[in-house]
Structure 1
Amino acid sequence: MLFNNDFVTFCLFFTMINSFAQKEIIPLWDGDIPNAQKTEEQEVIENGDIIKISLVQNPTLEVFLPAEPSATGQAVIICPGGGYHYLSYDWEGTDIAKWFNSKGITAFVLKYRLPNSKSIKVSYKAPLQDAQRAIRIIRSQSKKWNINQNKIGIIGFSAGGHLASTLGTQFDRPNTFKEQPLDMISARPDFMALIYPVVTMQEDYTHKGSQESLLGDNTTDILKTQYSNELHITKSTPPTFLVHSTDDKSVPVENSLNLYKALKDNDVKVEMHIYPTGGHGYALAIDKGYLQSWTDRLEDWLANL
């Protein structure tokens, strides 16, 4: 009988631990994925110092919920960076989600399709299609996660910042596929936070790697203009929070400076923090001196929207 009790206790403990470990991962698309084609390509996950995901085949949202008593009703979609070549999935994704949870904010890490995948028909359209779909799914199921559907924003890092700012400025881009009722829901984020973001595709200040990954080696001026988000600011662009470092050698600080000016000129609420040093790709900036306080500034800004 003692053995049986111990065995039952072990089973209950194992079940409890297993339930805590379960993740809610939501496919963005039911059935056929739009703008996709069948190939032999396989998704790649590299487990090094940073988890890198490339050649995304099935875009998803991974859900991170705060403890219910601390939930604020705000939610955010997180777009990891990686030059539109891969996703820094933990460094600029799940780690960020856990930080948001600590502030009572529900977080969703977006595993979006990358334009270098052969499984995409029109490469540059896929990331925005996935981001539009992501916010529509969250809005449609906001009650399920105790979210205020008017407090759903987006944050992006580096090339993920380009995707986030594309959604923030071009959320109403018409679909080129057969729509479902879900696709009628507004895809406008209620706020956006852009951390050392790629914003422009113009030659003077773009991140060449992101530009080539998104638009191809021999792109056109029309596409460069279409995906230079500083050129698409309107009074409907959501309130924006910007962080950049002056010494960023990968993505020039002018990406944020020019976006700030365009937002200000269109009377869009914007807050910007430029740090003298920090370089690029620092995520939460742990042990990076006072650069680490950028998350405190974001917390203040979110609380006062």
Structure 2
Amino acid sequence: MKKYFILAIFFSIPLLNLAQNHTLNLWPGTPPLQKEMNLQEEAVQEGILRLSNVQNPQIEVYFPTAQTATQQAVVIFPGGGYGILAYDWEGTDFAKWLNSQGIAGIVVKYRLPISKSLTDPKEVPLLDAQRAIRLVRHHAEDWNIDPKQVGIMGFSAGGHLASTLSTQFDHELDREKDPIDQLSARPDFSVLVYPVISFSEQVTHGGSKKNLIGENPSQDLIDRFSNELNVDKTTPPAFLVHAQDDQAVPIQNSILYYQALHASGVKASLHIYPKGGHGFAFGRNRGAVENWTGVLLDWIKNLE
């Protein structure tokens, strides 16, 4: 009881100046499924800020002004093949853009399964993703967020994590838990940008698959993380965007997920552009795909 009281104090400090961004640890102390190895996170800025070897998972929260706030929030998972995080290109840049639309943007610095400090690597990204959305709901009142309007956005392998959270939000492990773990981890909607969805050999992104579940995974493990196979009527509505000329993650990933959502009666919107390649982010100077964020905003505004 004493431990839970301390946790409640630690996670319940009101953040009064919502004009600034804030960074919070996902977990108090050593995160679950991790052993202390004194490893250091690495950050390389070469056009894109690439983070690797994450040991202390966090969320970085960006707030809109009070005058423009819609009370919606989007939790963002940058991509990087489960090997790095393209932290600004597919993370903080989008959080700031969401702010300009009155939406809180929360970037997740999640642990990557290739880290040597993890005791069960395949479970860790989902565990951090669940914790991130629960932490946002825990702070919803202080942050002027409606806990029933918390969506997620994922890019490439971050899209795989977002679709895993969308289909396995109630997946639980045998571990010590605190009151925040009792909150729902189900997203209210998802935005999947050139996402890895399937680990099926014909359509997957090999690097993401290898980094998450290893070189020779069992068929059961492949099926578990082929998220088109795990959609049901509880899966949240999704907006998917992909480029037809994507040479890294085939468009079949988005198509398979859309078809599964449609078959389960889940509302979904699929947008495929002829050009854009992979990793186009905002799509600047890449033709028609540059307009995808405007289409997304219309979709978010019309969510029911």
Please state which band the TM-score falls in when normalised by the shorter chain.
over 0.9
2:199 matched to 1:198? no
Q: In the alignment, which residue of structure 2 is the partner of 1:3?
A: none
Question: Taking structure 1 as reference, are residues 185 and 247 closer, same or farther at Cα in structure 2, changes over 3 Å only?
Answer: same
AA paired with 2:50?
A: K
- Deviation sequence 1:116-171 (CA, Å, 0-9, x none): 00111111100000000001011011011100000000000000000000001100
**3-state SS of paired residue (1:69):** coil
SS at match of 1:70: coil
- For structure 2, the residue ranges without an aligned partner over 5 or more in a row are 1-16
RMSD, aligned α-carbons: 1.3
Kindly tell me the number of residue pairs found equivalent between the two proteins. 287
**d(CA) in 2 for partners of 1:273, 1:175:** 35
Is the CA contact (8 Å cut-off) linking 2:273 and 2:288 kept in structure 1?
no
More divergent stretch after superposition (213-222 vs 69-78): 213-222
Give the residue type in structure 2 aligned to 1:90: D
- Superposed CA offset, 1:154-192 (max 9, x none): 000000000000001100001221111111110000000
Q: Which runs of 5+ in 1 are unaligned?
A: 1-18
Given that residues 20 and 63 in structure 2 are in contact (C-alpha distance below 8 angstroms), is that contact kept between their aligned partners in structure 1? no
Aligned to 1:37: 35
Superposition deviation, residue 220 in structure 1:
1.3
Q: Does 1:166 align with 2:171?
A: no
Question: Residues of 2 paired with 1:244 and 1:288: CA distance?
Answer: 13
1:280-299 matches, within 5 Å, as 280-299=278-297
TM-score by length of 2: 0.92
- Tell me the equivalent position of 2:152: 154
Which of 113, 116, 125 is the equivalent residue of 1:115?
113
Q: Which amino acid aligns with 2:63?
A: L
Question: Which residue of 1 is the match for residue 215 of structure 2?
Answer: 217
Find the structure with the greater CA-based Rg. 1
Aligned pair partner of 2:263 in 260, 265, 279: 265
Structure 2 counterpart of 1:57: 55
CA distance 1:120–1:171, change in 2 (3 Å): same
Cα distance in 1, alignment partners of residues 260 and 215 from structure 2:
28
- Counterpart Cα distance in 1 of 2:193 and 2:59: 20
Q: Deviations over 1:226-271 (max 9, x none)?
A: 1110001010000100000111110000000011100000000000
DSSP-derived class of the 2:270 partner: strand
For normalisation by structure 1, the TM-score amounts to: 0.92
